[in-house]
């Protein structure tokens, strides 16, 4: 790996654990200014305070969300887009380049590809172009690959998730983001067949904190390299604490009960018996 890419990877993944807690906030293109990301600077402040390793943004939000203070975290600029208003929402198109992302200070770029639909051909061609450019610049590439379209009966079927993850590795991604398959046993097959770090998506808003934490614990037990959870973080009643709870599982090996106990008791401190904000300020 090029030294430039290796250094950038350490800005979006914890260099000690080799894992990451990413918070995607690119939803404004798809769905507009939804709850939790109306004020991007405040949304960034909250997840940074929780210890997020990186965030995902579209290019126009980088300046709007830049905090100029507080804990540091990596920046992943998202290169592709579609809207929920489109008659073809699964068809992603490139709206940014690797070079633009570099000028914005990005530590990595990401691309979204949906497979199993009539627009797969164009999205795979874009994937190839982005992978080439990212490799030339030493820029880490996160590929978000989802089986979505008329050829897909169940987008959470382990067989199609395995295919999606392997596709990302085959076409040059440095990390792949896919949906969780529902169990550590089936997700382990996804990880073993991919050959680059695999992180899980958060999916739709979940009904409980326990469900989120159990999904993450299962993925980590299966060998996942972390999480990339959006709505279930930035729409949480306390984004800072849910990020911290996720980090306890991803980076510290905490079980669900310990993370849930921390999340449900705001008066409690973290594992070093120090208030969360003070600890993060000290280590930043």
* Measured distance between the N- and C-terminal CA atoms of the chain, rounded to whole angstroms: 27
Is the predicted pLDDT of residue 204 greater than 50, yes or no?
yes
Q: What is the pLDDT of residues 224-275, one digit of tens each?
A: 999 999 999 999 999 999 999 999 999 999 999 999 999 988 776 654 434 3
Higher-confidence residue of 1 and 171: namely: 171
pLDDT tens digits, residue range 14-72? 999 999 999 999 999 999 999 999 999 999 999 999 999 999 999 999 999 999 999 99
- Would you state the pLDDT for residue 206? 85
Catalytic residue among 19, 146, 174, 209: 146
Question: Is the CATH number 3.20.20.70 carried by domain 3-283?
Answer: yes
3-state secondary structure 238-264: CHHHHHHHHHHHHHHCCCHHHHHHHHH
More confident: 281 or 100: 100
Percent of the chain with pLDDT over 90: 89
pLDDT of 2 strictly over 90: no
Token pair 């070079």 is found at 99
pLDDT given at position 121? 97
Give the domain ranges of the chain: 3-283
Q: What percent of the chain has pLDDT over 70?
A: 94
The predicted structure's pLDDT at residue 79: 98
Catalytic residue status for 146: yes
What pLDDT is stored for residue 18 in this prediction?
A: 96
Q: Does the model's pTM come out above 0.75?
A: yes
pLDDT at 164 over 60: yes
Nearest Cα to 51, choosing from 219, 189, 264, 249? 249
pLDDT tens, position by position, 71-124: 999 999 999 999 999 999 999 999 999 999 999 999 999 999 999 999 999 999
Active site residue 26: yes
pLDDT of the residue at 191: 98
Q: How far is CA 76 from CA 24, 101, 172, 192, in A?
A: 9, 8, 17, 25
Q: Which of 179, 142, 136, 140 is nearest to 161 (CA)?
A: 179
**C-alpha–C-alpha distance, residues 156 and 262, integer Å:** 30
Q: Per the residue annotation, which of 5, 19, 92, 177 is the catalytic one?
A: 177
280 — pLDDT class (breaks 50, 70, 90): very low
Q: Which of 5, 19, 26, 162 is catalytic?
A: 26
């Amino acid at each position: 790996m090029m030294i430039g890419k290796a250094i950038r990877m350490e800005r979006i993944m914890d260099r000690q654990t080799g894992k990451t807690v990413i918070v995607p906030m690119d939803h404004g293109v798809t769905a507009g200014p939804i709850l939790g990301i109306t004020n991007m600077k405040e949304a960034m402040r909250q997840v940074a305070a929780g210890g997020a390793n990186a965030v995902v943004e579209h290019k126009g939000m980088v300046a709007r969300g830049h905090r100029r203070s507080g804990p540091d975290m990596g920046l992943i600029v998202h290169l592709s887009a579609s809207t929920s208003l489109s008659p073809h929402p699964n068809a992603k198109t490139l709206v940014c380049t690797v070079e633009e992302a570099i000028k914005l200070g990005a530590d990595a770029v990401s691309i979204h590809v949906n497979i199993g639909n009539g627009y797969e051909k164009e999205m795979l061609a874009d994937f190839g172009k982005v992978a080439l450019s990212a490799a030339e610049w030493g820029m880490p590439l996160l590929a978000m690959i989802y089986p979505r379209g008329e050829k897909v009966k169940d987008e959470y079927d382990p067989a199609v998730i395995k295919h999606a993850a392997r596709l990302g590795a085959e076409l040059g991604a440095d990390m792949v983001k896919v949906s969780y398959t529902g169990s550590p046993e089936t997700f382990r097959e996804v990880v073993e067949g991919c050959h680059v770090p695999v992180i899980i998506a958060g999916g739709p808003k979940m009904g409980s904190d326990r469900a989120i934490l159990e999904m993450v614990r299962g993925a980590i037990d299966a060998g996942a390299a972390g999480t990339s959870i959006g709505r279930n973080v930035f729409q949480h009643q306390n984004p800072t604490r849910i990020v911290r709870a996720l980090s306890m599982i991803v980076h510290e090996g905490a079980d669900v009960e310990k993370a849930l106990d921390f999340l449900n008791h705001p008066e409690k401190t973290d594992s070093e018996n120090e208030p969360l904000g003070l600890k993060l300020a000290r280590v930043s």
